[in-house]
Structures are given as C-alpha cells and as structure tokens.
Chains A and B, each alone.
Chain A
Amino acid sequence: MLIYKLLTKGAQTEDHAEYLYKLRMRNISIRMLQITILISIFVAWEIMGRQGWINTFLMSQPSKILNLLVKMLENGEIIRHIKITLIEDLIGFCGGSILGIIIAILFWWSNYLFDLLEPYIVILNSIPKVALGPVIIVWMGNGPQSIILMALLISIIVIIMMLINGFHEVEKNKIKLLQTMGASKKQILFKVILPASIPTIFSALKVSVGLSLVGTIVGEFLVSRAGLGYLIVYGGQVFNLHMVMVSIIILSIMAGLMYYIIIIFEKIIVKWR
C-alpha cells in the first residue's frame, strides 16, 4: 500500500494514478533487471572460477580483480594511470570538438572551400585513423602529445561531418527571415545557424566522446608508457589478466560517465524541447 502511494505521487485522478503506477513500475523493473543482469554475470563468473570450470589464469575472476584493484588503489598506481588517460582524452576530445566546430563554421562560411576540400575530408573520414598511429609517433615523438593527437584526429572528423550536415539542414526560410531584417552573414551565423544546430552539436559530441577514447587507448597501446591503455597492453604481455580486466572495467565506467555528463549538459542547454 505504501509502495502504491509512493508510485502514484502527483496523480490527478484514479485512472491517472493507475497509469502512473504502471508506467513507474515498468521503469523500476527495467532498472532492477539491468542491475540483476550485471550482478549475475559477475556472480556466475566468480562461481565458475571457484569451481574450476574456467581457467582463472586466462579468464580472470571478479574477486581477484577486486583484490588487485584495492591493492592498486592503496599504492596509488591506478589513480596515476586513470589521471593520465583522463587528461589525454579530455585534451584530445575538447581540442577536437572546438577545432571541429571552428572548421565546420569555416566550411559553412565558404561554400567554395567546402566543395574544394570535401573529397579529402571524405577520405580522411574513411581511413582508419589508427593506421596513422605509427606515423604520428615518429613525427610527434613517443609521448603524450602523440596520444592526444590521435584522440583529436579520430574525433574531429566526425564533428566536422555531422556539423556541416546540420548547418545545411537549417531551414532556409529562417535564414530568409533574418535576411529580410537586414542581417549580416555573421548575424545569421550567431542568431540562427549555431543555435539551430545545438542539438546536432550534442549528437556529434556523443559520438566523438567514445571515439576520442578509442584514440587515446590505441595511442597508449603504441606509446606504451602509462595510462589505462598501457596497463591493458602490459597486463596482456605478462599474462596478468586481472590487471587487464581492472583497466577495462575502469575504462567502461569512464566512458559511461563522460557520455552522461554530455547528456546532462544537453538537458541544461536544450530547454526548448
């Protein structure tokens, strides 16, 4: 009864209460099941390891992962690697996003420039940027600067492509409306093109936040000095699969958190929907 009261909070009528109850129950059940699935996987994994059904040397095991994580937290090692990866990724992602938005604006400003450079951008978009890794390291040196550049390159192209499309999809008559008021090109950019493209900018950011992390991790694979990517490669080489798993789990949490931060920003900024 108490649960029913809680779940029907704010109901206008009895039918509305019924509706709210069903809707909220559904949402709660989805959340509960999501958590249950996650826990079940780890529990099954742990049991199979303990029973000797799987080889924990190759497959690792939740309890051992947890032990290692605690140990690495105590000596501060994992924090150091997380910090390195996070900083590299954030610089690459933010740099790529800001540069990408600026380049997209330039392409909008000059249609000629865009038509001129379009084939190069299309090709740049299609080649796996990871293939450029060794070249970047040779040119930029074996350090964080190369990793940041990888993260930046991998995310910038998506931003440019998605924004160019978004800018061109802005309703022509909204631009005409401003023109009839005597607006300059700069006013058209700031009063209609950019604000109308804010939802597109957020979609592009959501895609590129994951891609920049790919760039960072691959960069760390290649540079092999520090960071979560380095821990994964190192752990793999010395057959310390627990270390690999610790890094992967932290990476997943990182990627998820960054994605949600963007969604929160979107909710704050896009108020009109």
Chain B
Amino acid sequence: MENIKVRLENIKKKYISLKGEILALKNINLLVGEKEFISIVGPSGCGKTTLLSLISGLIPPDKGKVYIDDKEVKDICQCVGYMLQQDYLFEWRTVYENVRLGLEIKHMLNSNTPKKITDILNSYGLEDFTNRYPAELSGGMKQRVALARTLITDPEILLLDEPFSSLDYQTKLTLEEELSNILESKKKTVILVTHDIAEAISMADRVIVLSNRPGKIKFTINIDFTNNLTPIAKRKKKIFQDYFDAIWKELEIYVNL
C-alpha cells in the first residue's frame, strides 16, 4: 500500500438512547490505500453502516480518529460519495434533476453542468429516460440513476452501503459488472459494505470481516485473481470458492437461527 487514503485509528462508537447505550464499534484500526477497493462483511447489526457514517463524517466517533488524506475528518467531506441501500430518488424530480442534486447541494453548478449530466446518462444507458420520473423506471434503472447521482460530483472515495441489496439477482450481477467497468476507467477508493460474501469477493481487492456487536475487525483477506477479470468471470474461478469458504468460516459461528 503506497498511499494511504483513509485511516481509522482506535475507533469506538456507541449509541445512547432512552433504553441505555449500545456499543456499536470497538477498537477499529483500518488502513485503506488510494484506489483500493475493500469490502466489509459481517452479521447484521455489527456496525457496518456506522463505519461508513464515521468515514463520511456524518457522525463523530466517541474515541479515536478518522483521517482522509492525513487530515482528520470533522465534518462531511466533499471528497466522499455515499450510496445507500436503496436508490432514494426524489420522485418529484426527473432523472436529469435527480442526477443534478449532488451538484446543487455542493454548489457545483456551472455552464458545463448540462453536458456533464447528459454525458453520464448516456454512458449509463439512461439517455432515453432523461426527462422521466423515477416512478416510470425499473429497480435496476433507478439504482443506475442513483449511481450516476453519486458519481457526477466525481468523489475520490466511494462509500457503498449494500447498494444492490434491494435488487433481484440478475440485475444485481449486471450492476456489479457495470460498476466494475466504471471503476476500471476511473479508479477510486471504494469501501463496499455488504452481507453478500460473493459480492464482496467478486468486487474487492481485500475483504474485511467484522465480528458481532460490538463490531471489531476479526479477519482480513486479500483477494487476488492474478489477471483482470470481471465480477462474473471471477465467480467462475475455482479460487473464488476457496475465498468464499475462508470468509464463511469466519462468519459461520455467528449464524444462529
């Protein structure tokens, strides 16, 4: 790892409510290299989403520090693009206007904006839907628009919080493939949170397994397919199953029905 993009130091995070407090994350130390793609898997409620919220600056840690480019994160970082579990497109805005949202919020509108949006819509195969409302789109289309909305501001770090979990299997594979294509041409630092081990392996350079609550880093594994393969091609390799088994073993003890 030559350049460190994201650094988490001794992170502790708890949530306090009327009922008491819940320790969400404990002793998290993590380095993410520039243009590295890491996946975080773990049982539900282990603090995966909290981890992303901390990195984005949405919430502060109780102890420890988050650094991006060696600068401590104290507020929302403009360099972060965050994608949620569902598309959360604004139904009163057209596809075009939804994609423009991030630019509006970040005060990045200029004379070049319309061309920029048109270009990104074209490259995602959404050109025929520019002036449609989200209600007229399929689930996969919507998530594609959400991806365009996230990437239009050209973030250096991409935080993905189970972005494909609400989609059906085929659409999910297609979108993984497309995302991987996009990242091929525009390398970014990506942190993908997922409960889908196969997705984690087929997308990431490194997979991190979190323990049950309070979330700690339990296991880290480097994923290496030697030559550049697409996510679907990776799924067909024998070594894929080995990675899967290794991660499954670490997760398995937490499976109780």
* Chain A residues with a Cβ under 8 A of chain B: 171, 173-174, 176-183, 187, 191-192, 195-196, 198, 270-273
- Nearest chain A CB to B143 CB, angstrom units: 13
Task: Produce 1/0 per residue, B148-160, CB < 8 A to A.
Answer: 0000010000010
CA of A182 to CA of B58, assembled, Å: 9
CA of A243 to CA of B106, assembled, Å: 63
**Besides A181-B102, A272-B134, 12 other CB < 8 A contacts?**
A171-B88, A178-B101, A179-B58, A180-B56, A180-B58, A180-B82, A181-B106, A182-B106, A191-B101, A195-B90, A272-B91, A272-B133
A177 & B76 in contact (Cβ 8 Å cutoff): no
- Nearest chain B CB to A224 CB, angstrom units: 46
Residue among B93, B104, B105 with max Cβ neighbours from chain A (10 Å): B105
Given contacts A271-B133, A272-B133, A273-B135, contact A181 B88 (CB under 8 A): no
Residues of B within 8 A of A171 (CB): 88
CA of A148 to CA of B105, assembled, Å: 40
- Nearest chain B CB to A200 CB, angstrom units: 12
Find A176's partner among B84, B92, B93 (CB 8 Å cutoff). B84
Residue of B nearest to A273 (CB): B135
Find A179's partner among B76, B91, B106, B134 (CB 8 Å cutoff). B76
| Chain B stretch 76-105: residues in CB contact (< 8 A) with chain A | 76, 78, 80, 82, 84-86, 88, 90-93, 101-102, 104-105
Residues of A within 8 A of B90 (CB): 174, 191-192, 195-196
A183 & B84 in contact (Cβ 8 Å cutoff): no
Residues of B within 8 A of A192 (CB): 90
B88 & A182 in contact (Cβ 8 Å cutoff): no
B84 & A173 in contact (Cβ 8 Å cutoff): yes
Residues of A within 8 A of B135 (CB): 272-273
CB < 8 Å A-B pair total = 56
B133 & A183 in contact (Cβ 8 Å cutoff): no
Residue of B nearest to A172 (CB): B88
Residues of B within 8 A of A271 (CB): 133
Residue among A180, A195, A271, A273 with max Cβ neighbours from chain B (10 Å): A180
- What is the number of residues of chain B that contact chain A, defined by CB distance less than 8 Å? 25
B86 & A181 in contact (Cβ 8 Å cutoff): no
Residues of B within 8 A of A191 (CB): 90, 101, 104-105
- Nearest chain B CB to A265 CB, angstrom units: 15
CA of A78 to CA of B233, assembled, Å: 82
Find A181's partner among B76, B85, B133 (CB 8 Å cutoff). B76
CA of A187 to CA of B153, assembled, Å: 17
Find B88's partner among A177, A187, A273 (CB 8 Å cutoff). A177
A177 & B84 in contact (Cβ 8 Å cutoff): yes
A198 & B58 in contact (Cβ 8 Å cutoff): no
Residues of B within 8 A of A183 (CB): 105
CA of A270 to CA of B133, assembled, Å: 11
B101 & A173 in contact (Cβ 8 Å cutoff): no
A182 & B84 in contact (Cβ 8 Å cutoff): no
Residues of B within 8 A of A195 (CB): 90, 92-93
CA of A211 to CA of B151, assembled, Å: 48
Residues of B within 8 A of A180 (CB): 56, 58, 76, 80, 82, 159
A182 & B105 in contact (Cβ 8 Å cutoff): yes
B76 & A173 in contact (Cβ 8 Å cutoff): no
Residue of B nearest to A180 (CB): B82
Residues of A within 8 A of B104 (CB): 191
CA of A180 to CA of B158, assembled, Å: 11
CA of A177 to CA of B153, assembled, Å: 14
Residues of B within 8 A of A270 (CB): 92
| Chain B stretch 149-194: residues in CB contact (< 8 A) with chain A | 153, 159
Residues of B within 8 A of A177 (CB): 82, 84, 88
Residues of A within 8 A of B91 (CB): 272
- Nearest chain A CB to B83 CB, angstrom units: 9
Find B58's partner among A176, A187, A196, A272 (CB 8 Å cutoff). A176
CA of A267 to CA of B76, assembled, Å: 38
Given contacts A272-B133, A272-B135, A273-B135, contact A181 B105 (CB under 8 A): yes
A178 & B92 in contact (Cβ 8 Å cutoff): no
Residues of A within 8 A of B78 (CB): 182
